[in-house]
Structure 1
């Protein structure tokens, strides 16, 4: 079986390659699936003119292309690619990662691409049960071709998990920091309400203005580090932290790589009452708590009764590993292409 996957960025140092896509490709290849298109510096343009001999075309975040360089030209390329694939009667699979694109520019182009992805895809995959409802609300006929699959992850837990009493940070916020993630709003809230919580932010800010805004909020309780964090360091930070906090705004988020990577280290997580956060707050093997407003976070951090059981976490992580995801997705792919 052969598939084409978008986007496959070339790792040339100038573009940070999404580890989700690298893991996704690896999981499929372990199942014997051939990925036809190699990584490329122009992952969408490179598909134009290629032979349409793949059994299926798999798209992630295609609805975001209007925001990229040559965005309108890329939008036209995406439309042409859609027409070519459908003309050749190949299968299209779309992964719905977000309720809507995080950036609010180019709405008409994004709505057009999203409409095509919903109406013309043969299979829609979402990593949050709320994603099925999102599709149902937009196009009831598309619900029957929408499938929930858990966001795959890895087991990065240490052999020995330290006792919670050894922690020196109450809330750790990590990962690339963009406006939509709500970090600046939460830090400002923490200062205005004098939260007596030790908060550490480690993440590369998307702009100098955003970093300056965060830096002005730093105090003895709040530290800000404008840098990316490697996974080996992240594991150590999580061991010294009571909770990882994901203060995302609810408007666009469904599933979260930050959530899954935090869980992979055995972290206890506090996140918004949406998408996969809500799913895993109801998962008895995990310690995930949700909030509807920032005012609930301190109470959760200080009074949450449920504690992380390392053995339960390991069971969850193995059950939802990339290897297991590859097996399930391969099965769904075979069903689709045999129809």
Structure 2
């Protein structure tokens, strides 16, 4: 580019998710001047200098109280109005099928509708998102661009070398990430209770509230084959947590979940997953290297999850190395299909098509 284009990428930093850093660093290396959304209306000069805004999770609202939720909603409406008034290019990334927050769900959906109607382009991380958008917004005019979620290979440090120790122990499952109710931790606890002789589960991450932390501690007290590590896991410790597991287990809800950075994280560090067939899983088309499953009703989720755990236990007992081999093949696959360089190049190509 002749001169740096000033854009807003929101959020432009997130200490809990290197996804943002990967994309922002790629944009800045290419010459984009990446700015914060908070400064968008700081002055007329700055407002006029911004050419494009790219919004992530913008539809999520602060639902800590009714007042906060409505304040959050109206502030975001003001931003959208300013984007329209200033004739700025608008890009939105569709991360979820629905908002995960129950209290603000209806208002969040209304805001999503406004974003979709105004967007020049919508980035999707999985092909199924295209069908969801078309069914929810039949008059959709925005360009829909499929750009995969970037891999996390070496982002949190190098993958630790494998060893042959403890191969005959219990199957070691790991749930890692922000601990929130929609991630079905209670369901996972209930299922693992039935595998006391063959499975050990570690749940690692920071609960979204103190009340939820206490609730999970009470649940785990009754299940001896579960260990809780309810704290924020520093980036530097992630490779070790993943390395100490045989595979990750992520029983997300098919009702709202669509993409998962944690799934990509697991694959990036050589571990496969037990996970519903969300968009991230479907796109990779990995066959037997992933323990994916579907269900029609939430009441069927427990049995579907139980079946995949049993499958993994059987494989672990008959061929202890097989799960690690699957994980390493998944690492190779995301390096090919989710390359950080390809992802950032695709984003830059999209921006340039909108700005030129």
* Per-residue deviation, 1:62: 0.8
Q: What is the CA deviation profile of residues 40-85 of structure 1, one whole-angstrom value per residue up to 9, with x for unaligned ones?
A: xxx54x4234413222111011111353683322322221221221
The residue that corresponds to 2:310 in the other structure is 299
Structure 1 residue aligned with 2:355: 337
SS of match in other structure, 1:141: coil
- 1:190 is aligned to 192
Structure 2 counterpart of 1:94: 92
Candidates 107, 129, 133, aligned match of 1:135: 133
1:329 deviates by: 0.7
C-alpha separation in 2, matches of 1:88 and 1:73: 23
Unmatched segments (≥5 aa) in structure 2: 295-303, 316-321
Go from structure 1 to structure 2 and tell me whether the alpha carbon gap of 1:166 and 1:236 turns closer, same or farther (over 3 Å shift): farther
Comparing 83-92 and 211-220, the one that deviates more: 211-220
* 1:163-184 C-alpha deviation (Å, 9 max, x unpaired): 4864855211111211010012
Instruction: Give the structure 2 partner of residue 32 of structure 1.
Output: 31
- Contact kept, 8 Å, 1:166 with 1:240, in 2: the verdict is no
In the other structure, the counterpart of 1:40 is: none
- 2:298: which partner in 1? none
CA distance in 1 between partners of 2:260 and 2:229 (Å): 22
2:255 is equivalent to residue 251 of structure 1 = yes
Question: In the aligned structure 2, how far is the partner of 1:245 from the partner of 1:121?
Answer: 35
Q: 2:238 aligns with which of 234, 237, 261?
A: 234
SS at match of 1:228: coil
SS of match in other structure, 2:199: coil
- CA–CA distance in 1 between the matches of 2:327 and 2:252? 26
Alignment of 1:76-87 (within 5 A): 76-87=74-85
Task: State how far apart, in whole Å, the 2-side matches of 1:229 and 1:159 are.
Answer: 17
Tell me the TM-score normalised to structure 2 length.
0.81
Runs of at least 5 residues in structure 1 that lack an aligned partner in the other structure: 38-42
Cα RMSD of the aligned pairs, angstroms, is: 2.7
User: 1:167 and 1:233 mapped to 2: Cα distance?
Assistant: 25
* TM-score calculated relative to the size of structure 1: 0.85
- Check the 8 A contact 2:198/2:313 in 1, yes or no: no
- 2:162: which partner in 1? 161
1:223 corresponds in structure 2 to 227
Q: 1:326 aligns with which of 326, 344, 348?
A: 344
Change (3 A) 1:164 1:99: farther
Query: Cα–Cα, structure 1 residues 204 and 17, in superposed 2: closer, same or farther, change >3 Å?
Result: closer
